[in-house]
Amino acid sequence: MLVAWKYKERNTIIQRLDPRARWIFLLSLTFSIVQFWDIRFLLFFFVISFGHYFLCRLTWKETRRIWTFVLTLVVVIIGINAVLTGRGGPGEVLKGPKHILWQVEWVVPWVGWTISPNITVEKIVFAITQMVRMLSITVLFIPLAYTFNPNQYGVTFRGLGLPDKVAVSMDLAFRFVPTLARDFSITLDSQRARGYEVERLEGGLIAQIRKMAPLVVPVTINAIVGGEDIVNAMDLRCFGLRKRTWIHKLEYRPRDYVLIGLSVLILAGSTFANLGLGLGNFWMPGWALRLFGF
């Protein structure tokens, strides 16, 4: 059985909006953000993202875990990777003029490859830009699980123009993640009761992966079996017979049109600025160089 995300009614402006308008807003903003590498533009979106986040009125307690996850991902993986390699962005970060802060050459033992993760001012600025960019997108979507009424999952996607079958699948898929989390915790408990200690994984990588089998196998098998059950249960209730009715009805109100208009404006403006005016490429502020004494 699928589990829904922890949704609750909060009586906020965001939750009073039509979920279709909200999706249009989120997608427009996402497609706008990905067009920019210029931190000046990105900060504009960053402010909108956080403004939206605070309007959702989520508490720190309920979002603590997701924030830990997101910050680890953005800072440790994306941030550090960007500082070390400069990859993952536009070419000019690596190609343009370099102001090297710290140079090191390291030869990998046995294989003899040379790695030179030179830290440049450009890479640092790029890392910050990249983190702002990623955070702006992530922060837009964090509230979704908490504020998107599970009752309206399917009808929202249908209302956005997806076919019946895809909309129902999206409804089910949206609930797959919390279901997996629930199954995982039941399996973890069952195996702990058999003396299994996930904290005590020892040995090399392969050995460690093998020792994860008691957790991974039951969860995977359950997911597959659960998928078959869902297909059978849908068949037994005439799914896919003809065009279906959706009992929940969504209706746009004036405020939804305002939001959609705004979204379209932002996306069109961004696209024009980027493609039409050629703005938004990686920007290297002069004061950043001066800050490091160049």
Residues that bind other proteins (CB under 8 A): 1-4, 150-151, 153-154, 171-172, 175, 183, 186-187, 189-197, 213-214, 216-218, 221-222, 225-226, 228-249
Contact 219, 183 (CB under 8 A): yes
| Upper half-sphere CA count for residue 45 (Cβ side, 13 Å) | 36
Contact 127, 89 (CB under 8 A): no
Give CB contacts under 8 A, 24+ apart, made by 161-164. Answer: 164/240, 164/243, 164/244
Task: Give me the least distance between CB of 66 and other proteins, in Å please.
Answer: 17
Task: Give me the least distance between CB of 238 and other proteins, in Å please.
Answer: 4
In terms of CB distance, is 71 or 188 closer to other proteins? 188
In terms of CB distance, is 128 or 188 closer to other proteins? 188
Task: Give me the least distance between CB of 61 and other proteins, in Å please.
Answer: 9
| Upper half-sphere CA count for residue 65 (Cβ side, 13 Å) | 1
In terms of CB distance, is 3 or 288 closer to other proteins? 3
Task: Give me the least distance between CB of 234 and other proteins, in Å please.
Answer: 7
Contact 64, 58 (CB under 8 A): no
Task: Give me the least distance between CB of 291 and other proteins, in Å please.
Answer: 46
Beta bridge partners of 277: none
Q: Indicate the helix (H) or strand (E) that contains 115.
A: strand 114-115
Task: Give me the least distance between CB of 154 and other proteins, in Å please.
Answer: 8
Which amino acid is residue 52, in one-letter code? H
In terms of CB distance, is 203 or 261 closer to other proteins? 203
Beta bridge partners of 32: none
Q: Indicate the helix (H) or strand (E) that contains 200.
A: none
In terms of CB distance, is 173 or 265 closer to other proteins? 173
In terms of CB distance, is 144 or 234 closer to other proteins? 234
| Three-state secondary structure call for residue 41 | helix
